[in-house]
Amino acid sequence: MTYLKGDDRIIVCSNYQFVDTEFYQENVWNIARLTHELMPSRAAWLTGMTIIYDYAHHLYFRDGSKYWPSDIGKIFPDPQNRWFSDFLKADETGEAPLSYTKYYERLRMIELYCRLRHIKELPASEHWEGAA
């Protein structure tokens, strides 16, 4: 946790943000597709997401309420993470998701994992506030 001090906060996405199709596409779906290119498999996401627990004491919603990460095995019950293949599918343009999921906790954990995974690639100021 290179940049965090004891009282630093990482802001996690709220459900209302996932309903906004532009936000969903730019801040979750596109980033997940780029990150997936670096992953050896769908199942690797489940192992990788455990990094979220390392930051649990720093995770808050924008309104200041504490966010405690869910159990990855409960949110993603399939150990092969086959759901992820459908999530990553693009529409006929290739520029937008084929469909939009309402599994908000999955989306929250995907977005957060992508941000935390790239923690060393961006200055701290660009990570901790999350997407607006």
Reduced 3-state DSSP string for 26-81: HHHHHHHHHHHCCCCCCHHHHHHCCHHHHCHHHEEECCCCECCCCCHHHHCCCCCC
Give domain status of residue 99, yes or no. Answer: yes
CA angle (33, 36, 42) in 5-degree steps: 120
- Based on the structure, what is the number of domains in the chain? 1
Give domain status of residue 81, yes or no. Answer: yes
Which carries the bigger pLDDT value, residue 124 or residue 116?
116
Give domain status of residue 119, yes or no. Answer: yes
Give domain status of residue 1, yes or no. Answer: no
User: Is the pLDDT confidence value at 117 over 90?
Assistant: no
**2 torsion bin: left (phi>0), alpha (psi -120 to 50), beta (else):** alpha
Provide the domain limits for residue 42. Answer: 10-126
Mind listing the pLDDT tens digit for each residue in 31-72?
A: 999 999 999 999 999 999 999 999 999 999 999 999 999 999
* pTM beyond 0.95, yes or no: no
Give domain status of residue 40, yes or no. Answer: yes
Give domain status of residue 116, yes or no. Answer: yes
Q: How far apart are CA 3 and CA 101, in angstroms?
A: 32
